[in-house]
Amino acid sequence: MWRLVPPKLGRLSRSLKLAALGSLLVLMVLHSPSLLASWQRNELTDRRFLQLNKCPACFGTSWCRRFLNGQVVFEAWGRLRLLDFLNVKNVYFAQYGEPRESGRRRVVLKRLGSQRELAQLDQSICKRATGRPRCDLLQAMPRTEFARLNGDVRLLTPEAVEGWSDLVHCPSQRLLDRLVRRYAETKDSGSFLLRNLKDSERMQLLLTLAFNPEPLVLQIFPSDEGWPFAKYLGACGRMVAVNYVGEELWSYFNAPWEKRVDLAWQLMEIAEQLTNNDFEFALYLLDVSFDNFAVGPRDGKVIIVDAENVLVADKRLIRQNKPENWDVWYESKFDDCDKEACLSFSKEILCARSTVDHNYYAVCQNLLSRHATWRGTSGGLLHDPPSEIAKDGRLEALLDECANPKKRYGRFQAAKELREYLAQLSNNVR
């Protein structure tokens, strides 16, 4: 299976962007009255803008009071709806403040999909419920698979949701109990019993799980407990709020060598934590690029900011069920696909082996080594090392073996040695 990201657009693309920008300026002049109104109005208090009217075909309501009370406001250009056509991912930056607090903090707002993907979701719900592409979503949701667990259903079971998304490609009961217990879009969180949730809350949970499980990943593996993900704050309708971490990793591509070494060490530590932890859940990153990580401006900590494509395998369940070759170490296959941010993997194997090197492979190939390409660049985060390190050759050898091993099980050993070597270089020895 391939994850492909198209290469950087060339001169034609830049010309088209300039033309689009010129057209935008004309539109802004023609619509100056509405432009001024858009700038002055806080649309985050508008139920329709939040798509709260589409609930329970939404992501939750826990933050609605904050949105509707005007505690969340767009930053600068985010207020201009004319710019939405450039915001394909539907990600916004905003400021949030509590009434009794003097300052505000930056947050990130996500619709979890493009306008096209959200429209397709609506059509899918309507067609399943009524056979027509348009309908009243409030009336349609109880007639879809998202309502299959309504009523006196005790547990969310693997059979009900297996394969709905990467998060539940091979779910265990232990994972699903953890999900229900930590579900933040209910007042009765803390219990693994599904029947403690309202029917509307169950439908919201299942829809989020199927459409984009990122908010659920952040809730199951919260940053407060040391997991390397952005902190989930809440949702209102089809707008999810998470904390702002910092600039994306890409902005550090040409940072001083010492800084890049520290970031590389942290990335390898993240790969290790997600692969081997006391909870015995292996979290495999299926989409690894410079845009999916960010760096805190104060503590310099690397955090995953896009967790849509995370596959979770329960190592306890693997050892218990003992599928074929479960205890044979699995080495991910290196493929130079000549594209940006691509990975080769088998979800079925990730779900069936107790020892897997996928996360080391993903970080080394797509972020650190000379094989990493992004936005037309190559060489990876550790490009152009100081002359003494380049002459020594150890770093290049470890990166090459981690990305494209020549020895059997070579990546496992190279990843371990690379973590230790980067710790020495960055004085992060523990």
What ranges do the domains of the chain cover?
249-428
Amino acid 38: pLDDT? 55
Give the predicted TM-score (pTM) of the model. 0.89
The mean pLDDT of 90-96, rounded to a whole number, is: 94
- Of the candidates 206, 144, 140, 147, the one whose C-alpha atom is nearest the C-alpha of residue 179 is 206
Residue 145 has pLDDT above 80, yes or no: yes
The mean pLDDT of 68-87, rounded to a whole number, is: 76
Residue 2 has pLDDT above 50, yes or no: no
Mean residue pLDDT of the chain comes to: 89
Q: Are 353 and 325 a contacting pair, CB within 8 Å?
A: yes
Token pair belonging to 357: 């090197």
Residue 33 has pLDDT above 90, yes or no: no
Please indicate whether residue 37 or residue 417 has the higher confidence score (pLDDT).
Answer: 417
- pLDDT grade, residue 187 (50/70/90)? confident
Amino acid 182: pLDDT? 96
Looking at CATH, the fold of the domain delimited by 249-428 is given as: Transferase(Phosphotransferase); domain 1 (1.10.510)
Amino acid 11: pLDDT? 39
The 8-class DSSP code of residue 308 comes to: S
Amino acid 335: pLDDT? 76
CA angle at 285 for the pair 172 and 146, rounded to the nearest 5°: 50
For residues 269 and 356, what is the distance between their CA atoms, to the nearest angstrom? 15
Residue 430 has pLDDT above 50, yes or no: no
Amino acid 9: pLDDT? 37
Amino acid 293: pLDDT? 98
One DSSP character per residue, 13-69 reads HHHHHHHHHHHHHHHHHHTHHHHHHHHHS-GGG-HHHHTGGGTTSSSB-TTHHHHHT
- pLDDT grade, residue 336 (50/70/90)? confident
Amino acid 245: pLDDT? 97
For 279-305, write each residue's pLDDT tens digit.
Answer: 999 999 999 999 999 999 999 999 999
Amino acid 12: pLDDT? 43
Amino acid 316: pLDDT? 98
The mean pLDDT of 377-385, rounded to a whole number, is: 93
The mean pLDDT of 328-348, rounded to a whole number, is: 87
The mean pLDDT of 245-249, rounded to a whole number, is: 97
Amino acid 210: pLDDT? 97
DSSP SS3 for 151 = coil
Name the percent of the chain lying above pLDDT 70. Answer: 87
